[in-house]
Structure 1
Amino acid sequence: NVEAKFVDSTVKLTEKMKLDCVYPKKATIIQTSWMKSNLTYKENIAALHPVYGIHISDNYKGRIHFQKDSSEDSSLYFVKSTLEDVGLYCCSIQTFPDGTWEKVIKIIQPDAFEVPEKQNHYVFTEPGGNVTFTCPYNIGGLVQQVMWERIKVDQMDFIVLCNSLGQKSFGSDFEGRTLVDCTSKTSSMMVLQNITASDFAMYRCVVTGRNKTFAMSFTL
């Protein structure tokens, strides 16, 4: 059920869009499926198979394409998008021996996409390195959740969420390379490992209490 899962990435609708889908571990990819989740049914968009090639549904022919030379990269490129493309998408990768890995991406209308103002909190690292973000807060009362996200010009990526019980939920692209402490009541510390070029962006922690919300952003 796509709706029940966290949205891993939120993408602003533009005529040309890239929906990122790269399996984050080493495994044999058997097949990748792209679907759009409509209210009552799932619409098949495309299937990618290392032997049988790429099959694109009629509704999407001429409007989407994939990288020809990469079996690891299953990212979907829109070249002629329309307002009807707003909605929830699921990239499902069948692998051996790990099983099925899924990523949920939501395309939203441009006026609904808001990038927060940049704050002067700079963090430095190099590709391949690790980086630590610390977000101190005091919202007076019980903290219901702390969420971390990566923010780009036309895309927001969900990294991790700590709930009030100290439990963690990770975004599909960040599980396995993100460390977070969900026990502190006054600050949140997150370590992002194996930094790549696409990680140089803005980051935000959003702390939600019963009556108050606090947000702090960082630039890497």
Structure 2
Amino acid sequence: MSWLTYYLGLFPGLFLLQRDVTCKEYQNVDMIIKLQDTVMLKCAYPEMGKMIQLSWEKKDGDAKHKIAVYNPKRGENIFFPYNQSVTFLSSSISGDIKLKATAADKGLYQCSINTFPEGVLLKLIAVIDPAKFPRSRAADSRVRIVPGNVMTLSFGYLNVDSIKQLTWQRMAGEEISIIVDITSSERFIGYDYKRRIQYIQSPDQNISLTIENVTTNDVGVYSCYIDTNNGNWTKTFDVDVEGDIKMFLIFGAIALGSLVLVISVVIIICVWRSKKRKASNTQFQKGTTERHNQRRANPNSYTNSDVYDQPNSRGMEYQEEAIYANL
């Protein structure tokens, strides 16, 4: 029995893997995105302090190419040639943009937000070739979360003298978010997790990651990668919303959609009835005006008599009866 088989037998859920693209080619990158026809670049302004200005740039070595700028007072501006392929999403203040991409759009993108009094916030995103995007793998453990609560993921590792590198990341669809990346000389925490995580390496051979105030946006496949003296090890966690909460959210969305549909139908019916009533009133007024005009033109004519003429007719009948009695 080899040493590898021995370790796999003692520690189920640990697997010897080669380094993937997230650890080798891109250091200190907050997010890795697979190149597609349409790419969403998410900056997610965290509302820390007052935003002064938000800008997007593409990094090409030491050179930087301006893509877009958003200023709360002056609005948005997209620079040439990106004005043909880039648009801000519905809420410009969040900083998210949509890119209609081609093969030439691979590379590093940087979102920078100038705030007061926090200073400059930076987020670095790598858009990579689809062939280099790592494939998802079967999860070793399943975790269910409740929105608003705290999530803790734990990973037991071999008893070694030191860990040369430790990386926690999250994969969701065609995106990989780097949560924490620690080496012997550097400690990097991803932009979206700076204020929500706690990383603990305890002496009892356990590494844990705690994320506070989780939401449905935290769903995905989490992986913990460690580079030790004995090899490279990874454990994955399939994180999803707890069943009851998930069904509640689904039914809530359906109920909300139904309510919006009912309200829309009621509004349409009310508007239609109002227009119909207005049209009827207009037609009635038009007919009344025509009858008044006819009476003014020929006051002795009784061919178009209406309710206003009835008292006069009744008076004439009374007069005829009185004359007959006298005779």
Decide: shared fold, TM above 0.5: yes
What letter corresponds to residue 39 of structure 1 in structure 2? G
Cα distance in 2 for residues equivalent to 1:5 and 1:31: 26
Aligned partner (choices 106, 115, 119) of residue 86 of structure 1:
106
Structure 2 unaligned blocks of 5 or more: 1-24, 240-327
1:20 Cα offset (Å)? 1.0
Identify if the C-alpha distance between structure 1 residues 16 and 37 changes in structure 2 by more than 3 Å, giving closer, same or farther: same
1:93 aligned partner, one-letter code: I
Aligned to 2:117: 97
TM-score under structure 2 normalisation? 0.62
Task: Look up the match of 1:163.
Answer: 183
**Which amino acid letter does the alignment assign opposite residue 169 of structure 2?**
E
The structure that has the greater radius of gyration is 2
**Structure with greater proportional helix content:** 2
**How many residues are matched?**
215
Tell me if 1:6 matches 2:25. no
Structure 2 residue aligned with 1:144: 164
RMSD: 2.1
Q: Aligned-pair distance for 1:208?
A: 0.5
The TM-score normalised by the length of structure 1 is 0.90
Q: Report if the CA contact (8 A) 1:162-1:182 is conserved.
A: no
**Aligned to 2:104, what secondary structure does the other structure show?**
helix
Q: Which residue of 1 aligns with 2:95?
A: 74
Query: Deviation of residue 118 (structure 1)?
Result: 2.0
Alignment of 1:36 with 2:58, yes or no, is: yes
User: 1:179-207, CA deviations, whole angstroms, 9 ceiling, x for partnerless residues?
Assistant: 01135472210101111221111100001
In structure 1, runs of 5+ residues without a counterpart are none
Distance apart, 1:210 and its partner CA: 3.7
CA distance in 1, matches of 2:62, 2:182: 31
Whole-angstrom distance in 2 between the partners of 1:209 and 1:185: 16
1:31-77 CA-to-partner distances (Å, cap 9, x unmatched) read 10100001241001110111111111111112111124342x10121
1:214 corresponds to: 233
Residue 155 (structure 1) shift: 0.7
- How far is the alpha carbon of 1:25 from its aligned partner? 4.2
Mapped to 2, the partners of 1:85 and 1:200 lie a distance apart of 28
Q: Distance in 2 between matches of 1:4 and 1:13?
A: 15
The 2-side partners of 1:122 and 1:17 are apart by 29
Q: State how far apart, in whole Å, the 2-side matches of 1:77 and 1:88 are.
A: 15
CA contact (8 A) 2:88 2:98 kept: yes
CA distance 1:128–1:70, shift in 2 (3 Å)? farther
Identity of aligned residues (%): 29
For 2:179 and 2:133, the matched residues in 1 are separated by: 18
| Cross-structure match for 2:147 | 127
Distance in 1 (CA, whole Å) between partners of 2:166 and 2:203 is 11
Residue number in structure 1 paired with 2:325 = none
Q: Judging changes above 3 Å, is the alpha-carbon distance between structure 1 residues 4 and 108 closer, same or farther for their aligned structure 2 residues?
A: closer
